[in-house]
Amino acid sequence: MIKHSAIVVAALFAAAPAAHAQSSYPERPIRMIVPFAPGGGSDISARTMTDAFGAALGTTIVVDNRPGAGSTLGADIASKASPDGYTLFLGNISLAFNAALYKKLPFNAIRDFAPISLVTEQPNIIVTHPSLPARNFQEFIALAKKQPGKLTYGSAGLGSGTHLAMEMLMMSQDIQLIHVPYKGTGPAVTALLGNETNAFMSTFASALPHVKSGRLRGIAVTTRSRSNALPEVPTVQESGVPGFEYATWYGILTQAAVAKPIVEKLNKTIVAVMSTPEMKERYERQGMDATPSSSADFVKHLRAETDKWAKVVRDAKIPQQ
């Protein structure tokens, strides 16, 4: 009996430091790994909210850009960090793509991460060069069917969202366009402005100024709803493709082994920060929508997106890397 009591007391003392660490969290700055270079959508999504997020937690959030290997480098570093709640990861839709695009990854997004909350969503817009004789989405599809294998579309790179989403659209409409991959969204937009390609499913923020100036023509928005920035441009669904939806989403994750109370505290704080009118307005100015969520909803979203894009990669016969 005495021996049993001693074991119980020892277990309680061992658990005390962990319980204290969770209740007093955070006690030092938190690192947020962003798997892309400064200035991109992921970086903007992170830096727009880190000051307010850190202030609400009573600490500082330090952004750590770790670009490379299609975001898998940063994801790998984040997945293997100490599971103490002091390393967060700003993941995006590439987490779902990469599971299908790479034969072997050093991490498993579903197994190795604990999704905390979705943060933002950025719509895409199909833009064409004004010289193309197709003034709307329906005319563009009709032209593509009339000239199979002749029209071209740019992308931000092989296996990028702008590539896979166009493949999904082509399969849904039974059309064939020639894919011209570039090294990023910027070069793809520049190529379209120079009439080197016919179309591009651009991120909204990158295309918006050129559509407003008339240098590019916006023919359809890829999300469920029209954009407040360009309310005259219909959605792909409105234009005759039921169920089509594509948006670049961003969310904050941490290691799967992080204590549940810490994950819950982070989720509660993120949702509160992202739900303020000021934060929503800051993201809207950059062509993004604030989309905070529960951890459970983020888990469901990540699983659904992973399954969805795995099917697109298979059906489009995109070779694994």
* pLDDT single digits (tens) 84-97: 999 999 999 999 99
Q: Give the type of residue at 110.
A: I
CATH of the domain at 265: 3.40.190.150
Handedness of CA 269, 250, 244, 280 (dihedral sign): positive
Size of the chain, expressed as the number of residues it contains:
321
CA pair distance 270, 295, nearest whole angstrom: 11
Q: How far is CA 164 from CA 44, 64, 236, 312, in A?
A: 23, 28, 16, 7
Query: What's the CA angle centered on 50, arms 44 and 54, to 5 degrees?
Result: 175
What pLDDT digit, counting tens, does each position of 201-212 carry? 998 888 989 999
Q: How many domains does the chain have?
A: 2
pLDDT at 3: 57
The pLDDT score that the predictor gives to residue 20 is: 52
Query: Read out DSSP for 53-88?
Result: HHHHHTS-EEEEE---GGGHHHHHHHHTS-SSSSEE
Question: Which range of residues forms the domain containing residue 16?
Answer: 2-121+249-315
211 token code pair: 């559509």
- Residues 99 and 34 placed together within one structural domain of the fold: yes
Residue range 28-86, pLDDT digits in tens: 999 999 988 887 778 888 999 999 999 999 999 999 999 888 789 999 999 999 999 99
Write down the pLDDT at residue 21: 56
Q: Can you state the percent helix, strand and coil of the chain, rounding each to 5?
A: 45, 20, 35
Q: C-alpha distances in angstroms, 44 versus 23, 87, 108, 286?
A: 31, 18, 25, 8
Same domain, 73 and 137: no
Q: What is the mean pLDDT of residues 137-163?
A: 94
Question: Is the pLDDT score of 1 beyond 80?
Answer: no
Residue 133 and residue 156 in one domain:
yes
**Rounded to whole angstroms, how far apart are CA atoms 292 and 267?**
9
What is the rounded distance in angstroms from the CA atom of residue 59 to the CA atom of residue 76?
A: 25
Q: What is the pLDDT of residue 153?
A: 98
Residue 18: band (very low, low, confident or very high) from pLDDT cuts 50, 70, 90: low
Q: Would you give the DSSP letter of residue 225?
A: S
**Is 98 in the same domain as 176?**
no
Same domain for 151 and 287, yes or no, is no
Does residue 128 share a domain with residue 103? no
Backbone φ, ψ for residue 256 (5° rounding): -60, -30
Q: Are residues 117 and 132 in the same domain?
A: no
DSSP 116-185: EEEEEEEEEEEEE-TTSS--SHHHHHHHHHHSTTT-EEEESSTTSHHHHHHHHHHHHHT---EEEE-SSH
- Per-residue pLDDT reduced to its tens digit, 222-281: 999 998 888 999 999 999 999 999 999 999 999 999 999 999 999 999 999 999 999 999
Q: Which candidate, 245, 315, 308, 319, places its Cα nearest to that of 95? A: 308
Q: Which residues pair with 92 in a beta bridge?
A: 250
pLDDT of 11 reads 54
Report the CATH number at residue 161.
3.40.190.10
Looking at the fold, whether 127 and 191 belong to one and the same domain comes out as: yes
- pLDDT tens-digit series, residues 181-194: 988 888 999 999 99
Residue 229 domain flag: no
Q: What angle do CA 190, 191, 193 make, to 5 degrees?
A: 65
Residue 31 lies in a domain: yes
Helix/strand/coil for 216: coil
Is the separation of the CB atoms in 15 and 22 below 8 Å?
Answer: no
Average pLDDT over residues 14-18: 52
Are 112 and 255 in the same domain?
yes
Instruction: Taking residues 298-303, report their average pLDDT.
Output: 98
Question: Beta-carbon neighbour count of residue 215 at 10 Å?
Answer: 15
